[in-house]
Structure 1
Amino acid sequence: MNDWLAHLTAAGGRQVDERLWQFPQDDSPLGATPSCLSPLSHLGILECDGPDAARFLQGQTSANVEHANGEFAPLTTFCTPKGRMIANSELLKVGAERYWLLLDISLVAPLATQLGKYAPFYKVTLNPRDDLALIGVFGTMPSLPDEAQLPAPSDIDWHMSQQDDTVLVRHPGAGSRLLMILPQARAVSIWNQMQPNAIAVGNASWQRADIDAGVAWLTATHSDSLLPQMINWEALGGISFRKGCYTGQEIVARAHFRGQVKKRLQIAALEGGTAVEIGSEIRNAEGKRVGEVFQATPAGDAAVCDLLVVLNTSESEESRLVVGDRKLTLRELPYPLERLDPESVVAA
């Protein structure tokens, strides 16, 4: 166990598995928007570095790499030639020739392998950054370390700032949410600086905020099974329809312009606080399978389970839906289901 993980354990944390940390405060009501810190062990960083890094990524990703300018960190996805997502991520420019891909930890190695098929033709190296710590800072903002500058502008999500070896990225949510990325060697001291004014919570709290924001991060379970539009990625600005070709671009564009997407991501609540497995079937009143569970996280009061689901577009909030014998209730998305061009976000 390294110093960072040992410190989290000493602070009362318990590592349930590779992805999940829990803290004693998780079982108690947090009150009104407290300051919270959370180790985001379910996320990881794949680094692409070298003189050809921008050109290499431009041919593989749905984002226009030029939009990743050190201030805006666009959402993106990597697809198969058939348009199915291998992984989705956020693209951060952290150096003149260096980019970080923020994605689910289970897809860091698979994406490195996939991109590694093309890397020999470019002057790039692909490195999983296992030496980095990712910390979620959310709720009422605690005092940040002096070297951590807030991303600007403060009212736009997916913006980033960098000071030396510390990167902050603003993520959407009902309250402020910042994702901090820094070397594990410094994470202990930074955590201790913020801890006196914040509550340590497990990363399920951060994942619930992703659900509330309607933001879906693929895991290895989902890889190569969904079109980007099925998780509303174009509604979040994760697809540039104005850039040049990339792997899977033709299929993704055709699905958009011909309106061929028959499934969409929705937010839902499931009766009972026990999480259900990813891929669990959703059935309607006639017993027909109409979708599946994408992500499940027990709600803070444990009375319901918060879900992201991929559901047939023919179903509505009036539909009677179940997972097993548990009632499923759809919730409203916090964004419109329409194309958001990242070009307009960059220009804002």
Structure 2
Amino acid sequence: MPDHSQVAPTIDWPTLLTAQHARFDADGHLLDFGDASAELHTTLGDGGIMPLPALGVIRVVGDDAAAFLQAQLSQGVTDQEVTESRLAGLCNPKGRLLAIFRVLRLDHDDFLLITHASLLEGLVKRLRMYVLRSRVALQDFTPHAALCGVTGTGGVAVTEATGTLPQGTGTVVHAGDTSVVNLGGEPERFLVIAHARDIHGLWEALTRGSRPVTPSAWELLAIRAGEPAVAAATSERFVPQQVNLELIGGVSFSKGCYPGQEVVARMHYRGTPSRRMFGLTAPEGGDVPLPGDSVLTVDGASAGEVVRAVAGPAGVEALAVLRVAYRDRQDLRLGGQPAGFAQLPYPVPMPESDEDAAEES
């Protein structure tokens, strides 16, 4: 993806999506394409294409880009190939997550970090504090990049539009200035990162072969995949293990130092953390909680915090960090409704007893 940052326009999603009857809220956030419920069912069945304007991109370029990121992130990047993507956390010195990135390597000295757009301004400023004499340039690349999620027929449409599709979870293919990441899951998900100047033609090509659907469908699939996210409300709230980041490849315990590494390593070697991320569901009729909202017991005591949540086909589906002692509780409430546990697609280690759980700093 060559540097066109001086000429690339900011993407006007409302204008681009008007032809597909997109609906936006008062703040300009994309809601759906007329029927969110039907679009969720479409995604889980035939699949679809989801614009993802809530995601943003940091571009890190320079001779020292790999070494710089190696010293900042919880996962190694110096040995990362251009054909793979990785998850990595950025922590504060206390080991608390400031962000979780999807890391792409475009070239030996060129990386993209994908995360929530609302965090980018602060993240770029923070990372620049550590540049010092490193030959590295950091840029909020969001105005110059367009991100879409695809599943099912959307994958076929991507193949027709770009001529290629990555095979295998975590793999990446590059077609000109467009990158496609295979995120795996069921149904299989693909993340498309295109240059802003190409998105109009690419979007037209994609929607000829698949239906545009609500971005909430992407959130639903990420929740079902057990993938954590850090939002503005939860920045600096969680240690990586509390959101299961090490269980899905986002932490290396052998890569060397990074901010917060001592805290993360100490928790790893002391044993199972006292708080872990669990899947939760609640029936229709309640509010969809926001990141950072409390999960409560029936008597109003706090049992944990919401990581991410969405209105699913049959009610609220969420990921939440709870004390492991609450893992068998039947009296939890989410968004004002009784909450049940949903199994995550990977095993989560539990202590043999509550006394064995390691307390976090």
User: What is the TM-score when the length of structure 1 is the normalising length?
Assistant: 0.90
Q: How many residues align?
A: 334
Give the Cα separation in 2 of the matches to 1:159 and 1:203: 22
Q: Structure 1, residues 63-120: CA drift from partner, whole Å, max 9, x if none?
A: 1112421112111011111101111111110122100001111112111011010123
* TM-aligned CA deviation for residue 263 of structure 1: 1.0
2:156 is paired with a residue whose SS is coil
* TM-aligned CA deviation for residue 148 of structure 1: 4.5
* 45 and 259 in structure 1: CA distance in 2 versus 1, 3 angstrom threshold: same
Q: Are residues 1:184 and 2:193 paired?
A: no
* 1:7 corresponds to: 16
* 1:66 corresponds to: 78
* 293 and 146 in structure 1: CA distance in 2 versus 1, 3 angstrom threshold: closer
* 18 and 88 in structure 1: CA distance in 2 versus 1, 3 angstrom threshold: farther
2:306 is paired with a residue whose SS is strand
1:123-202 equivalent positions in 2, closer than 5 A: 123-129=135-141, 130-140=143-153, 141-144=155-158, 145-151=160-166, 154-155=167-168, 157-202=169-214
Q: Are residues 1:293 and 2:318 paired?
A: no
The residue identity in structure 2 corresponding to 1:298 is A
2:104 is paired with a residue whose SS is strand
Check the 8 A contact 1:317/1:329 in 2, yes or no.
no
RMSD: 2.0
Q: Are residues 1:226 and 2:238 paired?
A: yes
Q: Structure 1, residues 146-185: CA drift from partner, whole Å, max 9, x if none?
A: 535212xx23x22211121010011132112111001122
* TM-aligned CA deviation for residue 335 of structure 1: 0.5
Check the 8 A contact 1:4/1:184 in 2, yes or no.
no
Give the Cα separation in 2 of the matches to 1:35 and 1:327: 30
> Where does the alignment leave 5 or more consecutive residues of structure 2 unmatched?
1-9, 351-361
Check the 8 A contact 2:310/2:317 in 1, yes or no.
yes
* 2:354 corresponds to: none
Check the 8 A contact 1:61/1:77 in 2, yes or no.
yes
User: What is the TM-score when the length of structure 2 is the normalising length?
Assistant: 0.87
1:70 is paired with a residue whose SS is coil
Give the Cα separation in 1 of the matches to 2:12 and 2:95: 41
* 79 and 48 in structure 1: CA distance in 2 versus 1, 3 angstrom threshold: same
Give the Cα separation in 2 of the matches to 1:2 and 1:61: 29
* TM-aligned CA deviation for residue 338 of structure 1: 5.1
1:117 to 118, 129, 137: 129
> Where does the alignment leave 5 or more consecutive residues of structure 1 unmatched?
340-348
Give the Cα separation in 2 of the matches to 1:292 and 1:221: 11
Check the 8 A contact 1:67/1:73 in 2, yes or no.
no
